[in-house]
Copies of this chain bind each other. A is one copy, B any other.
Amino acid sequence: MGAATSDAPRAWRTVLEHIEQQLLDGALRPGDRLPGERALSAELGVGRSSAREALRVLEVLGLIRTAAGSGPNSGAIIIATPGGGMSALMRLQVAASGFPVADIVRTRLILESSVAGDLADAAPAADLSAADLLLDAMDSPDLAPTEFLALDAAFHLALAEASGNQVITATMAGLRSGIEGYALEGVSAIADWSATSTRLRTEHRGIVEAIRAADAATARSRTHDHISGYYAETFPPSSPSGPSAPTATPSPASTTPESPA
C-alpha cells in the first residue's frame, strides 16, 4: 500500500462522507462519541493520517470537539457549534480577499435589520435579558475600546440569539469575526472615542426600546442606521474595501418610514 490507486477518491473525503452519512442516518447524533482514530481508519480501510485530516476538518467546521486522555470526555465528540466554523471561514475568506469587507457590512445590515424587525414582531415577546445585561456592562465608564467592542459584538449577537434563528446567529458571529481585525484598526480612525461610544450606547438602547415597543419599522431603521453609521465613521471615505460603499445598500425599512401610526 501507501498510495492512492488512482481511481479511488481522496481517502480523507471517504471518511468525511462516511461520517456525514452516519449523521444523516441518525447513527451519529450530537453528544455521541466517534470511534477512535485508529478504529475509524481501520474500519474504512484508510490510514490514520487520512482519518485525522477528515477529523481536523470536522473540528474546524465546528462539528466535533476532540480531547485526549481517556474517559467519557475524551475522543472526538459530536457537537454542533456552527459559530466557530463560520467564523473561521469568514475570517480566512476575508484574509484571502474572497470576501470584500463592504459586502460583509452590507450583509450585516440586511441580517441585523431583519432580526430587529422580527424581534419587534415576535408574538411572545422575545427574551432580551441577555442583551440588557450587555447594555448595562457597556455603561461602565472606564472601558477600553477593545473591551467595549467585544461587548458591542456580544450585544448584536445576543439579539440574533434572541430571534432563535441559529443560522443567522452563526452567520452573524462569522461576519463579525471576518471584520474584527478591521474594526480594531478602525478605532484609531475615530476622533472622539468617548463621544462615539456614548452615541453607540444610546443607539443600542434605542434599538431595544423599539423592539420592546413592538415597533418593527423603527427597530429595523435604527439598526440599519446604527451599523451603517458606525462603519461610515470607522472606514473613512477612501477605504480600499471594495468598489461600492457599504451604506449604498437600501435597507428594507431605513428611509421608508411606513410608521405604525
Among A20, A56, A86, residue most surrounded by chain B Cβ atoms (within 10 Å): A56
Q: Residue of B at shortest CB range from A24?
A: B95
- Chain A contact surface mostly: helix
A98 touches B121 (CB 8 A): no
Given contacts A20-B95, A250-B216, contact A107 B258 (CB under 8 A): no
A57 → chain B, closest Cβ, in Å?
Answer: 5
Instruction: Kindly supply a per-residue 1/0 record for chain A positions 98-125, scoring 1 wherever the CB is within 8 Å of any chain B CB and 0 otherwise.
Output: 1110011011001101100110010000
Q: Which of B93, B164, B171, B252 contacts A253 (CB 8 A)?
A: B252
Instruction: Kindly supply a per-residue 1/0 record for chain A positions 17-61, scoring 1 wherever the CB is within 8 Å of any chain B CB and 0 otherwise.
Output: 000100110001110000000000000000001001110111011
Q: Residue of B at shortest CB range from A55?
A: B53
Q: Residue of B at shortest CB range from A258?
A: B258
A20 touches B91 (CB 8 A): yes
| A239 at the binding interface (Cβ < 8 Å) | no
Given contacts A30-B96, A96-B23, contact A61 B60 (CB under 8 A): yes
| A256 at the binding interface (Cβ < 8 Å) | yes
Q: List A residues at the B interface (Cβ < 8 Å).
A: 12, 20, 23-24, 28-30, 49, 52-54, 56-58, 60-63, 78, 80-82, 85-86, 88-89, 91-93, 95-100, 103-104, 106-107, 110-111, 113-114, 117-118, 121, 164-168, 170-171, 175, 181, 216, 220, 244, 249-250, 252-253, 256, 258
